[in-house]
Structure 1
Amino acid sequence: MVKMSVDSTAQQTIQTAALKSDRFRLEREADWIRLDEIITKMEKGKARRLSDDDILALPALYRTTLSSLSIARDSSLDADLIAYLEGLALRSYFTVYGTQTSFARWLKEFFSGSWSRAVREIKLDIWIALSVMIAGTLLGYTLVAGDSDWFYALVPGNFADVRVPGASEEALRGTLFSAKEQDGLGVFAAYLFSNNAQVAILAFALGFAFAVPSILLLIHNMALLGAMLWVFAQRGLSTEFIGWLSIHGTTELFAILLAGAAGIHVGRSIAFPGAKSHLVAAKEAGMRSAVVMVGVVILLICAGLLEGFARQLIIDTALRYVIGGSMLVFWLLYFFVFRHNQMESGQ
């Protein structure tokens, strides 16, 4: 008798809950269905087919759905209903508040303004990074000039063939112009590209530590280049070496410069947030620097293509300078002249 009474009570509880859930659904289901239809059209790219009433009702329908979801959870209503409302609320959130843009549109905006604007916004950090890179090059050059043993500490041992302190002019010139001897220098160029790509990523990633690791990475990386420059300069081949390097080096080093500046920007924003909180300053700097780093990847890809093809096909020093200098001028115009004037004229 007691068991039958318990079973009856359980059935009544279930029936009451089901009735409550059905009533809840009937009272609000029309709004959910309308919201679902609007969201579905927008997800399919048919937003233009929506009426003005639907567009104006979208925020209110979204808030109504959130309210329904909250009540459903608090009242422990049907699990399927809760799952449906959660899915509808999530889709609505991305539609109402999410960034509505295609990849093609994002790419167009990136190249036509957002990348160059992000670079200009960290101009101070670019000057800091440039100063550090120049100092690193001078440091490597000076150290090796004072004591040639520093060369072996700065340059990896697997590149210590003919390009070492004391090498003859003929041997060094052969590495720059002789097709037979270019393989060794090509390996060195490939190493520089790989190393610089790693430095770019690390210089940005470690910027959060008040930019100190980023600065040290830039100094060490450029000291290697300074050491190698001295080896060629001691035989009067600095012009030829810089020309050989400039084909891909102007783009590659520009990428290093921007990556280092992005890391410094993050670190400097954390160390000196100004009137903002540390968290807000770090967030804004991180978002700005992330845009710059997307561009750095593009620069490194361009440098890799130049290193892989133009450097091996062109052996005339003057032409090497023309290509390297043209690339540098192009990037400077793109970031600091052309886009800047274009945006000002549009205001």
Structure 2
Amino acid sequence: MTVAANTIAEDDAIRSTRFRKEREDGWKRLDTLVTTAEKRGVQGMSYEDTLALASLYRQAMNSLSVARAISMDRALLRYLEALCARAYLVVYAPQESVTGVLGRLFTHGIPQAARRSGTALFIGFLAMMLGAFTGYMLYLQDPAWFFTFVPGGLADGRTPSASTEYLRRTLFDTSTRSSEALGLFASYLFSHNTQVAILTFALGIFVTLPSFILTYYNGLILGAFFAMFAQAGLGYELLGWLSIHGVTELSAICVACAGGAQMGLAVLLPGNRTRRAALRDRGRDAVKLMILAGLMLIVAAFVEGFLRQLVQSTELRLVIGWGLGLMWLAWLLLSGRDGPRS
């Protein structure tokens, strides 16, 4: 039995050696092509190399099938399995760089998600506008409402008892603004607004209502502030002061609310799908809306921390603020219409 076993083992070794020798050149060539494709992508290969890659991949798969059928040695099987797996990923897996993925996200993914989220965006902007209207009207009835809506730290001395001259100085005075102070101010604003947007987004899964309320509350603050400055005869100046950054910043909060609303609507109105399936589908758009909100907050923090303090003309503030708003709108409405759904 021992002699017979040794003879079988020797025959297997001879068969494996002959099998490898007949096909090894093709495997080495495939390994070289796969390595090149892994480093540079298929797009960086010549037409001839691409054809050779596909052909050699099929040959390697045939070799693997034969090797399994005739029980080749394990080392050879492991080598062929690893080579074929790498070649499969190169031939069939999506060949897209990180730059390509990000480019597709911004040219197609986010704009298409925004256009699919009309109802959710309506909820977000409605919450902000209703809050601003309510805050404005309540302040006109009783200025004491200002202290109910506006935190003391946010007011920073801008209260109903402040003089018109003091309120004007808060809109235009730059005497204490050094470059370092502006940088710290921008960092603080970005951190604060990002926390608000994340909270607004995260609470949306609870049937949308918490996101709506938080956005509505931001509107109450805005309305009370505007009513106070309007009574002091500074409504137009405050509009410019707010517009340069607020068109982007407040829109970002509304977009974050819309992202949360997308998840809430999936739970509340799943349609013919299960709630899990609805959440999975709407969740993709919700995440893209949150990315959009984060991008807008970055821009708003820069504008609020620097440009708003450096630009002292109300008219120029209005042009910059609403100009940015039109740019956001044009991007979201026009981009990605010529490609597949992302």
TM-score bracket for the superposition, by shorter chain length: 0.7 to 0.9
Q: Offset at 1:52?
A: 5.8
| Code of the aligned partner of 1:129 | G
Give the one of 291, 294, 297 matched to 1:297: 294
Over aligned residues, Cα RMSD in angstroms?
4.2
Which has the larger displacement, 227-236 or 192-201?
Answer: 192-201
**How many angstroms apart in 2 are the aligned matches of 1:24 and 1:132?**
75
Identity rate of aligned residues, in percent? 37
Match of 2:325 among 328, 331, 334: 328
Task: Please name the residue that 2:335 is paired with.
Answer: 339
2:30·2:57 contact (CA, 8 Å) conserved in 1? no
Within a 5 Å distance, the mapping from 1:1-347 to structure 2 comes to: 36-45=31-40, 46-48=44-46, 51=49, 53-54=51-52, 56-57=54-55, 91=86, 94-96=89-91, 98-180=93-175, 193-336=190-333, 338-339=334-335, 343=338
- Per-residue CA deviation, residues 256-312 of structure 1 (Å, 9 max, x unaligned), is 222221221122123322233333322222222323333332222221221222111
Deviations 1:187-223 (A, max 9, x none): 9887654432222222223333332332222122222
Is the alpha carbon distance of 1:25 and 1:131 closer, same or farther for their aligned partners in structure 2, counting shifts above 3 Å? farther
- CA gap 1:202/1:34 in 2 versus in 1, 3 angstroms: farther
Contact 2:64–2:77, Cα closer than 8 Å, also in 1: no
Contact 2:132 2:216 in 1 (8 A): yes
User: Displacement, 1:255?
Assistant: 1.8
Distance in 2 between the 1:108 and 1:208 partners?
A: 29
| Cα distance in structure 1, aligned partners of 2:104 and 2:320 | 28
The TM-score, its normalising length taken from structure 2, stands at 0.75
Q: Any unmatched runs of 5+ in structure 2?
A: none
Q: Against the structure 1 CA distance between its residues 161 and 285, is the aligned structure 2 distance closer, same or farther, given a 3 Å change threshold?
A: closer
Change (3 A) 1:56 1:246: same
TM-score of the aligned structures, taking structure 1 as reference length = 0.74
Larger RCO (CA within 8 A; separation ≥ 6): 2
Unpaired runs of 5+ residues, structure 1, are 1-7
Shift of 1:176: 0.9
Aligned residues: 328
2:211/2:261 contact within 8 Å kept: yes
